[in-house]
Structure 1
Amino acid sequence: MIKKVEFIKANIPLEKTDPLQSWYNQWSSQLFVKITNDENIIGWGEILATTANSRDIYIILGQKISRAILNKDEEEICEINDFLFKILETGKGAVSSGVISGIDIALWDLMGKKLGRPIYKLLGYSGKDTPRYIALSRYGNIDSLRKAVGIFIERGFKIIKIHEHYNRAIDAMKELRDIYGYSPKIIVDLSSSIPSLEKAKELFNSISKYEPMWIEEPLRQSDNYKALKKLNEIVPIAGGENIFTINEFKRAIESEAYTYFQIDTTKIGGITEAIKRINLAKLYNVSLSYHHRPDNGWIGISANYHVSVTAHDSFLLETPPDDPFRYFRIEGKIGTDYLQFKGLGLGIQPKEDIPKEEEDQDFVVYQEP
């Protein structure tokens, strides 16, 4: 039985680069969910809150709806997921789906530990090495970006995502190709910044010669699938992290708006919802990529890993470049181009006993006033 649901603010700092990332402070914060059952078995989940300042919104909603699942059987994960979405039927979207995501992931983790199995075993699959790419924060200028990318190329990373505004994306790609050639694969995340299809076409036609692996979420109107399809015919597009219902995901697939359809277990409703999307992707034979904001929240990355091994095609997991072993207990391996989680449940849990005197490295349990 579920006895306790806690929402935990964490402040795991990004690895500082020289030059420093523009979004260092925003991406050095996380929000975890901790669920304890009547046997004192603990499951961990993650909510991909947008910024440190937005975490309280998720926590307030999470505290309210989590009361409705106290004393429920933690093994009835899919029923609990359906129940929570029904409670929030009129408020589907980022916050409600995010809260359900954290609870759902924590329940799967708890179930795996209770039954003595990794989550991928519960889903009926074997664990395997999964390819990864690293995502970098935005940098203040192109020279800083070039230096930062060079640092990670020297470390052996082969696929790197950069976050750029559309006004600077072409110049940034030109600089990276002039300096580092075409061997490293570069992904460009435009963070829904282009205001019109006309401007987007200009950018896509100009940037295509620099061979981005894909361009992520180019348009401000992220659900304009007709326009996205036109752009996708010029340069491959990735998107889907902000699609919060299975029917909308189906509509995006049928529109051929993307080459890579993104799934993020910490945003869309957890592992339970991700499996529905994977099965739909199998039916339509489309390619998947697993999104996670590179904020050092490796619990969500582990959840993405466990569902990714159920996919039918090649795929990539998005991760930060930082070393997770400093802040998490992990059973598995993390290489520059692959990862694997092997322990019970998720195979990862945060180190709650990091000394508090180490600034910005302690976990703080949020307590309701």
Structure 2
Amino acid sequence: MPKIVKARVIVTSPRRNFVTLKIECDDGTTGVGDATLNGRELAVASYLAEHVVPCLIGREAHQIEDIWQYLYKGAYWRRGPVTMTAIAAVDMALWDIKGKIAGLPVYQLLGGAAREGCMVYAHANGTTIDDTIAAAKAAMDAGYLAVRLQCGVPGLPSTYGVAKHGERYEPADADLPSESVWSTSKYLRVVPELFRVAREELGWDVHLLHDIHHRLTPIEAGRLGRDLEPYRPFWLEDATPAENQDAFRLIRQHTTAPLAVGEIFNSIWDCKTLIENQWIDYIRATVVHAGGITHMRRIAALADLYQVRTGSHGATDLSPICMAAALHFGLSIPNFGIQEHMPHTEETDRVFPHAYSFANGLMHPGDKPGLGVDIDEELAGTHAYKRAFLPVNRLEDGTLWSW
């Protein structure tokens, strides 16, 4: 049985910050896991280096479940984004090692492919509705079958999802948190018009998604969902903060628009009530923030009992390691729904060479043993860490609001 002899934390910033855990066994086999927590990267790096890595040395790498339970139950202070991201990094790396030793891609170890590939959605962002529609058409021309629509709100200087200066959207954009301004009333006027024009211009053969980013009250979200129903949205994402899971009961009472939530969830307990009451249609928890492949499989299994499908977060705040893990996971489960896809920068792709690919609206993790992704440590070392915070959000009167 291979034993863990080394584990090191690698922090790199090829135009954005990533944290990677690399585990090495006594037979020379290595595995990698993503440990990136956007805006709090060094908290996870320290947690891994000081509290997790020393506990891994000498353990049998094949004992994935036992190590998962050891890191979760053995910490006493359970859950939370830092702890669960650290556990996820270990879990991914161990699945990577197991696949390499078996000579199989991870999805084969999880039961094999349940579909030809994972449908992914692109982001279409624009300052105006016309800009967003143009971006959506470009995504469709590139082969995407599903597109998330976000546009600027007239009267507001900035809007979630819309990049500054026409660049690729990356919200962690400042050494200290920048501040943006929000108006719910102005937002609720523009989104129905965005979807009306989108259906006229894009037709009905493309799935259209929208991210509210936790900014509405439940009754406001119900009103928006009702307004969008004629345009058949694929989902409305993160309609309201979900700390109070019961809030989604009220939204469900007022709209049949499908609801998705969970990109900031870190355990099955965050979504248990939502799933069991069928108040959501898609669970968006992701491999890196919800305890790795091992724990995500538990979440998916619970969701499958209630006809809730997965729709994992997949923005560029997750490294290609997490994207590979998400694709192996999504390919293998029965209730996969969709996977978010924001292409990484060329610099990031060079640091993290990978086997996954996109074609005809679907992504596939590839058939290399393990996760099929690695880190070029020498190249990673040329991209120094640079502190970057996510923004905060205020109403027009200055009240702090959910960003």
The two structures have a TM-score, normalised by structure 1, of: 0.82
8 Å CA contact retained: 2:132, 2:150: no
2:245 to 211, 220, 225: 225
Q: Please state if 1:123 is matched with 2:115.
A: no
Pairing of 1:1-369 with structure 2 (within 5 A): 1-13=3-15, 28-51=16-39, 54-66=40-52, 67-126=54-113, 128-136=115-123, 139-163=126-150, 167=187, 168-194=190-216, 196-219=217-240, 221-232=241-252, 233-295=255-317, 297-321=319-343, 326-340=350-364, 341-352=366-377, 354=379, 362=382
- Aligned amino acid, residue 371 of structure 2: L
Stretches of structure 1 that go unaligned for 5 or more consecutive residues are 14-27, 357-361
Distance 1:84 1:110 in 2: 18
- Aligned amino acid, residue 77 of structure 1: I
Between 286-295 and 99-108, report the one with greater CA deviation: 286-295
Distance 2:351 2:124 in 1: 20
Stretches of structure 2 that go unaligned for 5 or more consecutive residues are 152-159, 161-183, 387-403
Per-residue Cα deviation, 1:214-264 (whole angstroms, up to 9, x for no partner)? 011110x21333331342442100123333333443322112120112341
Distance 2:122 2:313 in 1: 10
The two structures have a TM-score, normalised by structure 2, of: 0.76
Per-residue Cα deviation, 1:194-226 (whole angstroms, up to 9, x for no partner)? 1x222222222222222211011110x213333
- Aligned amino acid, residue 334 of structure 1: F
SS at match of 1:348: coil
Between 253-262 and 168-177, report the one with greater CA deviation: 168-177
RMSD: 2.8
Distance 2:149 2:33 in 1: 27
Distance 2:113 2:245 in 1: 35
- Aligned amino acid, residue 224 of structure 1: N
Distance 1:38 1:365 in 2: 30
Instruction: Say if 1:269 and 1:124 are closer, same or farther in 2 by CA, change over 3 A.
Output: same
Distance 2:268 2:317 in 1: 26
Distance 1:116 1:335 in 2: 25
8 Å CA contact retained: 1:332, 1:343: no
- Please list every run of at least 4 consecutive aligned residues from structure 1 whose deviation after the TM superposition is greater than 6 angstroms: none
